Amino acid sequence: MPELPAVAAMMARDEASRGLGIELIDQGQGRAVTRMTVREDMLNGHAMAHGGLIFTLADTAFACACNSFGPVTVASSADIVFVAPARGGDVLVAEAVLRTRFGRAGLYDVTVRRGDDVIAEFRGRSHQLGNPQLGDPRPGRPRPGPAS
Amino acid sequence: MPELPAVAAMMARDEASRGLGIELIDQGQGRAVTRMTVREDMLNGHAMAHGGLIFTLADTAFACACNSFGPVTVASSADIVFVAPARGGDVLVAEAVLRTRFGRAGLYDVTVRRGDDVIAEFRGRSHQLGNPQLGDPRPGRPRPGPAS
Amino acid sequence: MPELPAVAAMMARDEASRGLGIELIDQGQGRAVTRMTVREDMLNGHAMAHGGLIFTLADTAFACACNSFGPVTVASSADIVFVAPARGGDVLVAEAVLRTRFGRAGLYDVTVRRGDDVIAEFRGRSHQLGNPQLGDPRPGRPRPGPAS
Amino acid sequence: MPELPAVAAMMARDEASRGLGIELIDQGQGRAVTRMTVREDMLNGHAMAHGGLIFTLADTAFACACNSFGPVTVASSADIVFVAPARGGDVLVAEAVLRTRFGRAGLYDVTVRRGDDVIAEFRGRSHQLGNPQLGDPRPGRPRPGPAS
């Protein structure tokens, strides 16, 4: 896979993803794929993969995708729909794809699968931090969404 | 466009969409496209198209897409991100596409555009009502999402 | 009710809310209550109040609450859970309450009820537009959420 | 704190929460409070607490709250807004509160705080699994949300 410097540096310091065995297995501009095997210490009290760790796998893919353009970018919000349970030993793959960018914001869709089965659908909103040295990516006024 | 009987019958009775001038301009299994011109009586106090009416346009596309399979299907939840404002006179087009189905539930993505510009991104979750006469689409236990 | 000038001026220009018969019946700093009677021309193809118009009622309450502090504030995103259907003739009341503010953003919860019954739960995120003349409400760097 | 048998049994088997040091520190009908200290192995590539693990803390509080009534209950979806970053050594507390129940579904709000500062706002939707032996909690037709 093509290695993007900003993403590689970020992943090298990501202790949380390392501890969970989350690997970045593919990446590109505005996209990323991560993989995690569900360990016994990732199960919840119903013997299913803890929803928070499925979210974490998706969130790491999202972080790699939204930082692929260079500037430091953080999550401002995310939502997840749990489609089917995952069990110990399952290999989960999360694929993040840019949906749209506007101002400093970005919207990414992440699908978590076990083989061909969808396990969860995640959507995250990112916020690019300013960097006056590099030139602010959004010099003008914020582009508002419609007032409610 | 191919006319789906369940969708055509539903739209024929949809007084809310008719009152807003929302038209169904394309449809298929698991998809639908609606169109609305922003009238002066659709503006909010900031002179932009009211976010609720942009949501309504997307929601009607979602309803047509999720009812395209036949059984009566309702919205259980939805979210919307407002990407850019719309103004009086703008022609907005909402395109709904099925993302995934599971049990009686479905997840649909709807993008609202003005020409090539994205105005809003909507995601809706549907719930298919049971119909014992026709055979319940999900006779067994609900397929749970993962326990949190 | 105490009248807040920014909200009163905004509502006076809100043609969309007026057309739907949405009234502001109470307001305060960070809160607002709106009311709408479900008319026959607000029903969808399943003879229920169109979900988009329930959203619109909640969205107007949200707009009044988030503009109550003075600066022009717009919706950046919102989600809604539909709890129970509403029918023609129902009187719906939406109560918006500030949950938290951070930087230029605010998070508001809106509950839509018919009498004591909950019809929908809405959560909206607002974005305050800058106004250099009045002094930017957030002069420093954006406070980031945690990186994913 | 009062100990609820269903919640205590679930937490005793929750290996994922145990591995992250998540403790249940208070509970009741429809509510729960969890606590987690942000360890160095919970940081992401921007040296902040990984958003997925903040989500996981909130999700465990949500699971305890929605299982407090007895029947096995799972998460069907959730969303989170990241309000402020957390750092290594921070002690985070998540408080989950029932907002509304309908049919087999429940809606819970979870606020994550560090002291008095809000770190994140989470909202989760739960789904109670059927148990014919105990009597199905929802014997009739599903109560639909409004059709879109």
Given this model, what pLDDT does residue A141 score? 36
Report which of B57, D47, D116 is spatially closest to residue C55, judged by C-alpha positions. B57
Determine whether the interchain pair B63/C44 forms a contact, defined as Cβ–Cβ distance below 8 Å. yes
**Alpha carbon distance C135, C130 (integer Å):** 8
Determine whether the interchain pair A147/B118 forms a contact, defined as Cβ–Cβ distance below 8 Å. no
Cβ(D145)–Cβ(D107) below 8 Å: no
Given this model, what pLDDT does residue A148 score? 44
Determine whether the interchain pair C82/B60 forms a contact, defined as Cβ–Cβ distance below 8 Å. no
**For an interface test with B, which of C15, C66, C79 has the most B Cβ atoms less than 10 Å from its Cβ?**
C15
Q: Which helix (H) or strand (E) holds A32?
A: strand A31-37
Query: If you measure CA to CA, which chain C residue comes closest to D50?
Result: C148
Determine whether the interchain pair D50/A56 forms a contact, defined as Cβ–Cβ distance below 8 Å. yes
Provide the pairing of β-strand D117-128 with D105-114.
Answer: antiparallel
Phi, psi of B139 (to 5 degrees): -70, -25
Which residues in chain D are closer than 8 Å to C126, comparing Cβ atoms? none
Determine whether the interchain pair B60/C52 forms a contact, defined as Cβ–Cβ distance below 8 Å. yes
Determine whether the interchain pair B75/D130 forms a contact, defined as Cβ–Cβ distance below 8 Å. no
User: Pick the residue with more confidence: D67 or C1?
Assistant: D67
SS3 D13: coil
Please report which residue ranges of chain A form alpha helices under DSSP H.
Answer: 5-12, 15-19, 51-66
Sorting pLDDT into bands at 50, 70 and 90, what band is A130?
confident
Given this model, what pLDDT does residue A140 score? 35
> Which residue has tokens 């119903």?
A46
Query: If you measure CA to CA, which chain D residue comes closest to A18?
Result: D41
Sorting pLDDT into bands at 50, 70 and 90, what band is A133?
very low
Given this model, what pLDDT does residue A92 score? 98
Determine whether the interchain pair B59/C43 forms a contact, defined as Cβ–Cβ distance below 8 Å. no
Residues belonging to chain B with any Cβ–Cβ distance to chain C shorter than 8 Å: 9-19, 40-53, 55-60, 63, 72, 74-82, 85
B132 sits in the region (left: phi over 0; alpha: psi -120 to 50; else beta) called alpha
Across the range A74-87, mean pLDDT stands at: 98
Which residues in chain B are closer than 8 Å to C56, comparing Cβ atoms? 50-53, 55-56
**Is the predicted pLDDT of residue D41 greater than 60, yes or no?**
yes
Mean pLDDT of chain A: 89
pLDDT digits (tens, 9 = 90+) for C3-25: 788 899 999 999 999 999 999 99
pLDDT digits (tens, 9 = 90+) for B12-69: 999 999 999 999 999 999 999 999 999 999 999 999 999 999 999 999 999 999 999 9
Which residues in chain A are closer than 8 Å to C63, comparing Cβ atoms? 147-148
pLDDT digits (tens, 9 = 90+) for C32-70: 999 999 999 999 999 999 999 999 999 999 999 999 999
**Alpha carbon distance A73, A104 (integer Å):** 9
Smallest Cβ–Cβ distance between B55 and the set C47, C49, C52 belongs to C52
**Is the predicted pLDDT of residue A127 greater than 50, yes or no?**
yes
Q: DSSP letters of chain B?
A: -PPPHHHHHHHHT-HHHHHTT-EEEEEETTEEEEEEE--GGGB-TTSSB-HHHHHHHHHHHHHHHHTTTSS-EEEEEEEEEE-S---TT-EEEEEEEEEEEETTEEEEEEEEEETTEEEEEEEEEEEEPP-GGG--S--S--------
Determine whether the interchain pair B147/A123 forms a contact, defined as Cβ–Cβ distance below 8 Å. no
**What percentage of chain C exceeds 70 in pLDDT?**
86
Min Cα separation D104/chain B (Å): 11
Apex A25 CA angle, A95 and D41, nearest 5: 95
Q: What residues are paired with C53 via a beta bridge?
A: none
**Is the predicted pLDDT of residue A145 greater than 90, yes or no?**
no
- What CA–CA distances, in Å, run from B26 to B19, B61, B93, B145, C50? 19, 10, 11, 33, 21
**Is the predicted pLDDT of residue C147 greater than 70, yes or no?**
no
Given this model, what pLDDT does residue D140 score? 34
Given this model, what pLDDT does residue A136 score? 38
Query: If you measure CA to CA, which chain A residue comes closest to B77?
Result: A81
Phi, psi of C89 (to 5 degrees): 90, -15
Q: What residues are paired with A144 via a beta bridge?
A: none
**What percentage of chain D exceeds 70 in pLDDT?**
86
Which residues in chain C are closer than 8 Å to D107, comparing Cβ atoms? 81, 83, 121
pLDDT digits (tens, 9 = 90+) for B111-139: 999 999 999 999 999 999 975 344 333 33
Sorting pLDDT into bands at 50, 70 and 90, what band is C131?
low
Q: Which chains touch D (3 or more CB pairs under 8 A)?
A: A, B, C
Min Cα separation A140/chain D (Å): 24
Q: Which domains does chain D have, with CATH numbers?
A: 5-129 (3.10.129.10)
Cβ(B125)–Cβ(B78) below 8 Å: yes
Q: Which chains touch C (3 or more CB pairs under 8 A)?
A: A, B, D
DSSP 8-state class, residue A132 = G
Across the range D13-31, mean pLDDT stands at: 97
Could you list the beta-strand ranges (E) of C44-148: 73-82, 91-102, 105-114, 117-128
Which residues in chain C are closer than 8 Å to B52, comparing Cβ atoms? 16, 52-53, 55-60
Q: Which two tokens stand for residue B102?
A: 């599971």
Determine whether the interchain pair C74/A127 forms a contact, defined as Cβ–Cβ distance below 8 Å. no
Which residues in chain D are closer than 8 Å to C77, comparing Cβ atoms? none
Determine whether the interchain pair C52/B57 forms a contact, defined as Cβ–Cβ distance below 8 Å. yes
Mean pLDDT of chain C: 89
Q: Which two tokens stand for residue A2?
A: 């093509």
Residue type, C147: A
pTM for this structure? 0.90
Which residues in chain B are closer than 8 Å to D66, comparing Cβ atoms? 148
pLDDT digits (tens, 9 = 90+) for A1-44: 777 888 999 999 999 999 999 999 999 999 999 999 999 999 99
Which residues in chain B are closer than 8 Å to C10, comparing Cβ atoms? 44-46
Given this model, what pLDDT does residue D79 score? 98
Which residues in chain A are closer than 8 Å to C123, comparing Cβ atoms? none
Q: Which two tokens stand for residue D5?
A: 């048998």
Sorting pLDDT into bands at 50, 70 and 90, what band is A71?
very high
